[in-house]
Amino acid sequence: MSAAPAGLRLVAVTVALVSSAWMVVAAPGARAATLSGTFYIDNRAGSACSDTASGTSPSTPWCTFNPANANSFAAGSQILLERGDTFQQALEPSGSGTSSAWITIGAYGSGNRPVITGSGAASDRTIVLENPDYWRIQDLELSDAGEGIYVNYTTDDHAGLDIERIYAHDIQAVFHGSPAQTDFPPSTTPRPSQSRSAARRYRRAATRSSVT
């Protein structure tokens, strides 16, 4: 994918983009630390999971997304969800990969894709990334949210976003409808021609990602 123009958002796997110049965007919270390596999340009964565990082995997984959301990840790291699990929580990690060491959100184990689901509310999100560089999202099922994969670019010169083997359904993509959402502008707001042009360029680039 080409470099990201500032102020654009990639939303709900369906690739809708708007400019953050039309709204107030809350700054992401500070991250506790930068983690490096492969991290496992498994909320099944009997998994011996704990959010205070290291998360670095399938035998010592995290239970929820809270540790991933609280920290940043170094280039080459992986955040892997156990296949067959269902998580009703937004995954909101941060960090920057490189062209030779992407950060991956994916699956491990055997069976069905892990599911990240909302409650069906317009305000629900499943995966949220802020100004990502070289992130890969793959092998997940996303459902019952107002927006699915939600990517917010507020600065220039970002590169690398790969979406593969995602099954997304019941994603409402509520961004100009009702109820209004604060992370999209009202439908009556004028759109600058420059932002329209950038969105067209990004829409073409995003079609090269594989979403299945």
Residue 8 scores a pLDDT above 90? no
Residue with the larger pLDDT of the pair 181 and 53: 53
pTM metric for this prediction: 0.76
pLDDT digits (tens, 9 = 90+) for 36-74: 999 999 999 999 999 999 999 999 999 999 999 999 999
Q: Where are the domains of the chain?
A: 9-30+79-206
Residue 189 is predicted with a pLDDT of: 39
How far is it, in rounded angstroms, from Cα 196 to Cα 184? 15
pLDDT digits (tens, 9 = 90+) for 100-152: 999 999 999 999 999 999 998 888 899 999 999 999 999 999 999 988 898 88
